[in-house]
Amino acid sequence: MSEASPIPPSPKEDPGAPAGGFVQSEEIDTEDIPETDIVFECPHCSKSLSIDQRGAGLVIRCTQCGEPVTVPIPEGMEIEDFDATPEQLSAQLLQTRQALAKALKQSDELASQLAAAIAERDILRKAAKRREQVAAPFRASMAKAVRESELALATLREVAASAAEMFAPPSSEKKGDAPAP
């Protein structure tokens, strides 16, 4: 206990710094220490520790040796000074309740939006199914009509070809017979 001034523990001075596995990092922060933090030494290993002043009077584990250490209460302060007043607590409770009500309302809105989207999707699916039911026979009869007209066209071509053959003039060449205009 050489110094009373709040000097942040430097990692360079502590080569055997803890791995942090058993440290509650919320309670002990070795990097950025606000002035309001309580800085003290571990009575077991003399490691310099710091904790938010709300930790006063609490038992924490030393970051270096892992021993339980009681956080000292700063001089001139009472443990009650660190606790929230009933007014503060009820204000916090009110805020929390309002936030909860808001979140519940949002979640209700989301649920009804989701229900509406699902209903719409079902309607669209039913409509698509109905369209398919109507369209399928129509497509089948269209395909049949196309096949039949192709057959008819082929028959017509055959008939036309036969007729052309039947009524064609004898295929003698008439070179030179054509009258000059």
Query: Could you give the C-alpha distances from 158 to 39, 97, 151, 164, 165, in angstroms and in order?
Result: 109, 89, 11, 10, 11
Q: Least CB distance from residue 118 to Zn ion, whole Å?
A: 59
Tell me which of 28, 61, 64, 71 binds Zn ion, using CB under 5 A. 64
Per-residue binding letters, 19-58, with Zn ion (x by CB under 5 A): -----------------------x-xx-x-----------
Length of the chain equals: 181
Indicate the residue among 47 and 51 with the shorter CB distance to Zn ion.
47
Are 60 and 68 within 8 A, CB to CB?
A: yes
Q: Least CB distance from residue 5 to Zn ion, whole Å?
A: 20
Asked whether position 61 contacts Zn ion by CB under 5 A, the answer is no
Q: Least CB distance from residue 55 to Zn ion, whole Å?
A: 16
For 41, the 3-state DSSP assignment is strand
State the Cα–Cα distance between residues 38 and 11, nearest whole angstrom.
18
State the Cα–Cα distance between residues 86 and 92, nearest whole angstrom.
10
- Nearest of 6, 93, 1 to residue 43 by alpha carbon: 1
Q: Least CB distance from residue 111 to Zn ion, whole Å?
A: 52
Span interacting with Zn ion, options 9-17, 20-28, 60-68, 129-137, rule CB under 5 A: 60-68
Please report, as ranges, the residues that interact with Zn ion according to CB under 5 A: 42, 44-45, 47, 62, 64-65
